[in-house]
Structures are given as structure tokens and as C-alpha cells.
Structure 1
Amino acid sequence: MLGSSVNLNCSMQLNGVKLDRVNLYWLVPDVNNKVKEYLVPRPKKVSARSSNSRLIYPEFTNDLSLTIDNVQLPYTDTYICETSLLIGTRNARATGDGTYLLVYEEFSTFMNHTDLFCKVKLQTYQNVDLLWESQDQDYISTPPIVDPASDNSYWISRVLTYDPHRCRQNTTITCRLQYKGQSLVESSIEVACTGNLLASHSPPQPILLYISLLGNSLLILIIIIIVSYWLKKKRDRRVQVFAPYAPCFVPLKRTYNA
């Protein structure tokens, strides 16, 4: 991280071989694999990077590791440990695979409404990625956004839209800074979840819904039957009460005498 001290490891296995001379070099190659800068031995034209570089063990040992203090974004580079050896009368040369140092600044995560932001400042964005993940769910986020900064560095950010209604409990989501698939550092953020509240008021299961509909239909049918029976009884009662007192007219026969 910006402003910290880093150790670049380099060691030599002698296996009992006696060395008559050892010349150690720590160098930074350019894109054409030529030497861009020497850190050890310290060059005549000292840069900020070379002045901040020192061997952990100044006296010769098998450990040839280098410390760089107060690292800055431009220190992002590949560092190579190289030795020139004299064994008797034979010269030999040994070169390490190189250590890539990626210096980052202000790596952070924060939330704005339902959007989660992961942001970092780097000297380069090549082979660099930001990845959102959590233990209980995989998240699909937007592609990384690269914005140039005024100091020839870059802001890299990645946005994740989080739906709090799809979860059942508060969860921690982590953003990882990766270089060539290797995680370098991570930052986590805990987000609230409203899924529990929604789950407690979730709609009934289909079988319960069918039972409820069936019960309501039966209740309506029973009410209709009761009402129909009551109306029928009422009509029958009206006939039984009023029929005996209904007026009856019987025509009279008149007899006429001849």
C-alpha cells in the first residue's frame, strides 16, 4: 500500500560451494528487458526509489532480500535479483524470476443506496481486476470502470447493485483486488437485509390458498342453501295461514215456477 515498506525476497542456495566473489544487483527492467534502473548497487544518479531501497543484510549472506521504504504509485514495477559469481576461475551468473510490486492507494468499499462501490487507485490497470463475492451468493456486477487521474495513475472502480429484498439475513460482501487472478488485498462491507420482514408476511403457499378458496366456496353454498330453505318455509307458512280464511263464493241456484 502507498507509503508502506515492502520486502522483496531473494536467497541463494550455495550447497557448500565456496565463492571467491559475489556481485549482487537489484534492477528494474523496461519493456524491452533492458535495465531501466539499478537499485543495488546504488547508481550515481540517485532516484527517489533507489534512495528508499536498502538490503536487509548489507553484509553478504545467503539472504539477498531488498527493502523499499515509503513506496509510491510509480514504484509499481518488476524487480529482479541478479548475481555475478566467481567460483574458482569460473564466472557464473544467476538471475531470479522477478517480483512484481503493485502499489495501490485508497482501496475502499462504500454503499450508496443499493449500489456498492469498490474503488482503488493504481499506476496501471493491466491484468488488474476487482471482484465482488460473498459466502452465500455470487453477485453479477458491472465491468470495471477505469478513469485516468491527473498524476498519470488510474482510478479503477466496480459497482454492484444489491437487492436487500432477496436475502434472508444481513450479509457481508467482500471486494478483492486481484492481479493476474491472485488476490492482493480485500475490503468488506456489511449490508442490511429486509428479506426477513418480507418472509414473515409472505403470501400463503398454493395448497393453503386452494383450501381457503374451497372453504369459502362451501361456506357460500351452505349460506345459499340455508337462505333458499328459509324462503321456502316462509312461502309454505303463508299458504297455511291465509288459505282457510280465503272468501268462498258459491253460486245460488234459482228455481223459476212455470
Structure 2
Amino acid sequence: MASQNLLAVLFALYFSFGYCATSLEQPSILSATVGSTINLNCHLKNDEQLTRINLYWFSIGLNGTLKKYLYPPPTVTSSINSASSVSLVHPKHSTDMSLSVSNLTLAHTDTYVCHVSLVFGMNNSAVSGSGTFLLMHKTLEISLDETDLICTTNVQTLTNVTLVWELENGTLVDGDPGWLANSDNSYWISNTFPKSTSLCQPSQNATFTCLLQYKGTTVAWKRMEVPCAGETIVKIHTGLLAAHQPVLLYSFILGSSLLILLVLLLVWIKNKWIFRTNPDSSLYTNISDLKRTYCL
């Protein structure tokens, strides 16, 4: 009951306090992979002398409702926090309110608010940060299926979350997006970029980058280099060679036959020329003998 009252008070303070001389700075978006550790950064900016600071961290769900608080650690651990470890990044620092959260799961996808209650001498005040949206996801995976590039990952929400492809020239393309709901209320999302080898240049590789974006801001990416002179192109090239192979074979046989005939003709002409210019003397001797025999 006490924890619910504290959550109600913090939630009211988060939406009630507007302008304050003291401010808390938080990044608007962070992302992390399942099983990793992340620092939820929060820095206090204040020009006045503070007597006391009470720090609180709580989360607001995707539907805008107050879900839980992370710091101070709750007396009864919730199911979401049971496997995680929460601690201050710099416990003795007077202006660094950052929180470290380990063993992250997809269920940690939320907006996290840094909140402090302050004492200025005899005056009390409170201020909240603008909140950091933490997008949890599994590692991006890229595969090449024939000529199609496929990028996939697992996320907790589809709201404002997209996968897009970036080409080498910086052009963003949507490709063919898709998603599949899981039993744990998470989603597999994918993006297929068809005919990737059509962008290849001769003797060069093409680089494609898959971007995971939240509200158009890239939070994670993975790059793949497609070998344009690799297996896919070689197979196509081999097919073209196989189609022209009979024509080349017939041309080789015909050319070889003509060359052999030409060589034989040249040898015959050479021998005939030698016969005419250098007659055998023994032939004339025999003819002379015949003349002497029949002309007595």
C-alpha cells in the first residue's frame, strides 16, 4: 500500500511541476540488446546550495500509465525486476543521478523518468526529467537468400519502430517490411530488400546497412557486404557460358580442320616447287640410256 502511495505521489509530481530553477537532463532515446547492461543517464543542473536530495527513478508504460519504480529498490521485487540488478552509476556524485540496469529483457521497454525532491535551506521543491525511452531488442540478424537481403530482430512494441535499409550512397529504402506476433506479447519484425545484386557494380562489392529506428532515429544498425563477384554472379556467369558452349566447340573444330588443310596444301606446294627446280639427274641418265638403245 505504501509503495502504491509513493507511485501516486511521484506520478502527480511528474506532471505537476513545470518551471524550476533546477533541471534534470536525460537523453530522449536509448536502446539495448537483451541480456546487456545500460546506464540510464540523468544529470542535475542547479545553481543553488542544496541541503538534501532524494532521488527516484520510475517508469511509464507504453500507454502512458505509471508502471513501477526502480530506485530506491522496492522492498518487494516485481516480476520484471526479479532478474535485473539496479544501482547508481556514481553513488557519491552530487549531480550525477544516472542509474545502471543489468540483465535487461524485452519487458524493460519503457520510458524511464528521473525525479528528485530537493531541500533549499528551509524550502522544498521537486523536479523531474523529460524521460528516456528505452527500446529493447534482440541482436539484428542479416541473411542473404538467393538475391534478397533479409533483416530481422525481436522487439516488445511495434509503435514507432521500423527497420529500413540504407544503401552505400546514404539513400534509405523501406524494402518489404513484415512482422509476426509471439506468445510473450513481443514481435518479430523483418525487412526484405529484393534483388540486392542489381545494384552491384562490376568487380566491386555492395554494402547494405539495416537500421533499427524509433520515430525516425537510428538506435541500432548492422551492415553486410554483398560479394558482387561472388557465388551469385558466378552462377549466372556459368549459366551463360554453358548456353554458348556448343557454338564455341563447333567453331574450334571447324577452325582446326581448316588449319590442318592449309598446312597440308602448303607442304604439297612446297614439294612440287622443289621437284620442278631441282630435277633428279638419275632420271635423265635413264632416259639417255633409252635413247641410245632405240636409236642405233
| TM-score (structure 1 length as normaliser) | 0.70
The equivalent residue for 2:190 is 157
Say which SS state the counterpart of residue 74 (structure 1) adopts: helix
Contact 1:130-1:175 at 8 Å conserved across structures: yes
Give identity over the alignment, percent. 38
8 Å contact from structure 1 (residues 132, 139) kept in 2: yes
Residue number among 64, 68, 82 corresponding to 1:37 in the alignment? 68
Match of 2:138 in 1: 105
* Match of residue 218 from structure 1: none
Asked which structure has the greater RCO (Cα within 8 Å, sep 6+), the reply is 2
Deviation string for 1:108-139 (max 9, x for gaps)? 11100011100010011110111111224747
Partner of 2:212: 177
* Counterpart selection for 2:57 from 17, 26, 34: 26
Deviations 1:40-96 (A, max 9, x none): 111222124275211112235210100000110000100000011111221111100
CA distance in 2, matches of 1:126, 1:31: 9
CA contact (8 A) 2:149 2:196 kept: no
Verify: 1:64 aligned to 2:97, yes or no: yes
> How far has the Cα of 1:164 moved from its partner?
2.3
Alignment of 1:196-215 (within 5 A): none
SS at match of 1:49: coil
3-state secondary structure, aligned to 1:116: strand
Aligned partners of 2:225, 2:40: CA distance in 1, in Å? 34
In structure 1, what residue type is equivalent to 2:59? V
Indicate the residue corresponding to 2:34 in structure 1. Answer: 2
Equivalent residue, structure 2, for 1:233: none
How far the C-alpha of 1:101 sits from its partner, in A, is 0.6
**AA in 2 matched with 1:26:** W
**In the TM superposition, what whole-angstrom CA distance separates every residue of 1:7-56 from its partner, at most 9, and x where no partner exists?**
011111222x2222211100012456553111111122212427521111
Instruction: Provide closer, same or farther for how the CA distance between residues 128 and 88 of structure 1 changes in structure 2, counting only shifts above 3 A.
Output: same
CA contact (8 A) 2:62 2:110 kept: no
1:149-175 CA-partner distances (Å, limit 9, x unpaired) = 122110000001125245312111111
1:14 maps to which of 46, 52, 61:
46
Asked if 1 retains the 8 angstrom alpha-carbon contact of 2:212 and 2:219, the reply is yes
Distance 1:32 1:114, change over 3 A: closer
Q: Which has the higher helix share?
A: 2
Change beyond 3 A, Cα 1:100–1:156: same
Give the Cα–Cα distance (whole angstroms) in 1 for the partners of residues 63 and 190 of structure 2.
Answer: 30
Q: Is 1:188 paired with 2:223?
A: yes
Greater shift, 188-197 or 47-56, is seen at 188-197
Q: Secondary structure of the residue that 1:110 maps to in structure 2?
A: strand
SS at 1:12's partner residue?
Answer: strand
- Report the Cα distance in structure 1 between the residues aligned to 2:222 and 2:63, rounded to whole angstroms: 36
* Residue of structure 2 equivalent to 1:88: 121
2:268 is matched with none
Q: How many residues align?
A: 198
Unaligned runs of 5+ in 1: 202-258
Q: Quick check: 1:5–1:69 contact (8 Å CA) kept in 2?
A: yes
Q: 1:142, 1:158 within 8 Å by CA — same for their partners in 2?
A: yes
**Which 5+ residue runs of structure 2 have no aligned equivalent?**
1-32, 241-296
Q: Are residues 161 and 13 of structure 1, via their aligned partners in 2, closer, same or farther at CA, if it must alter by over 3 Å?
A: same
The CA distance in 2 between the partners of 1:12 and 1:159, in whole Å, is 44
For the 8 Å contact 1:143–1:158, the answer to whether it is kept is: yes
Compared CA separation, residues 181 and 12, structure 1 to 2 (3 A): same
- 1:128 equivalent to 2:126? Answer no
Of 61, 77, 94, which aligns to 1:46? 77
Runs of 4+ aligned structure 1 residues displaced above 3 Å come to 30-34, 136-143, 194-198
Whether contact under 8 Å (2:140, 2:222) holds in the other structure is: yes
Q: Distance in 2 between matches of 1:192 and 1:22?
A: 58
Larger radius of gyration: 1
Q: Is the 8 A contact 1:20 1:87 kept in 2?
A: yes
